[in-house]
Amino acid sequence: MDKITIRKQRVSDARRFFEILSAPGLKDFGVRPKSVEDEIAWLEKAAERSEKGYAYDYTILLDGKNVGGIGINIDQHRNYIAEIGYFVDENYWGKGIATQAVKLLEKLGFEEFGLQRIEIRMNPKNIASEKVAIRSGYKKEGLLLRSHKGSDGKCRDSFLYAKINY
């Protein structure tokens, strides 16, 4: 099997992320940069978010090649809870890449960030993302009504999956 690793995101990832996030298969993903410059601006703020301790963003690498991104956002009022989000180049879907990346980031979350609970939320129509949560050992807790804003600005429902650190 190919080797999946994660590393902190870099500004040099901007062009590749823009390419991935602009693909038709990711049109319902909540993040859709309008330009490479927008993606550069987002990545430049990553260090600040990390320094403040509320967001850690990583690049997903398949044998060293950038194939997506994954991040963890820590709840600022309950710093023992976080949410993982991810995206993978549609040319690499169905290969278990997101599942492996979730497991790598989850390990950091529980062991290094001291989290007690990690959540994954997804559009109920996103069967692939739901499979990632299930294969990563997350349990479905329910449907959250109008809890996620799509790239079009409209509020949508989302499934909530979570894993507890015992």
**Which H or E run contains 91?**
none
The whole-number pLDDT of residue 28 equals 63
pLDDT tens by residue, 71-108? 999 999 999 999 999 999 999 999 999 999 999 999 99
**Which H or E run contains 65?**
strand 65-74
Domain that holds residue 78: 4-164
Measured CA to CA, the distance from residue 142 to residue 90 in angstroms comes to 27
The whole-number pLDDT of residue 64 equals 94
Reported residue count of the chain is 166
| pTM of the predicted structure, to 2 decimals | 0.91
Confidence of residue 50 (pLDDT cuts 50, 70, 90): confident
Q: How many CB atoms lie within 10 A of CB 35?
A: 11
pLDDT above 90: percentage of residues in the chain: 73
Confidence of residue 12 (pLDDT cuts 50, 70, 90): very high
How much is the mean pLDDT over the chain? 91
Average pLDDT over residues 114-121: 97
* Domains of the chain: total: 1
Check which CATH number belongs to the domain holding 14 and give it: 3.40.630.30
Tokens of 5: 């690793």
3-23 in b/e form (b: 16+ CB < 10 A) is ebebeebeeebbebbbebbee
The whole-number pLDDT of residue 52 equals 87
**Would the pLDDT of 22 be above 80?**
yes
**Would the pLDDT of 25 be above 80?**
no
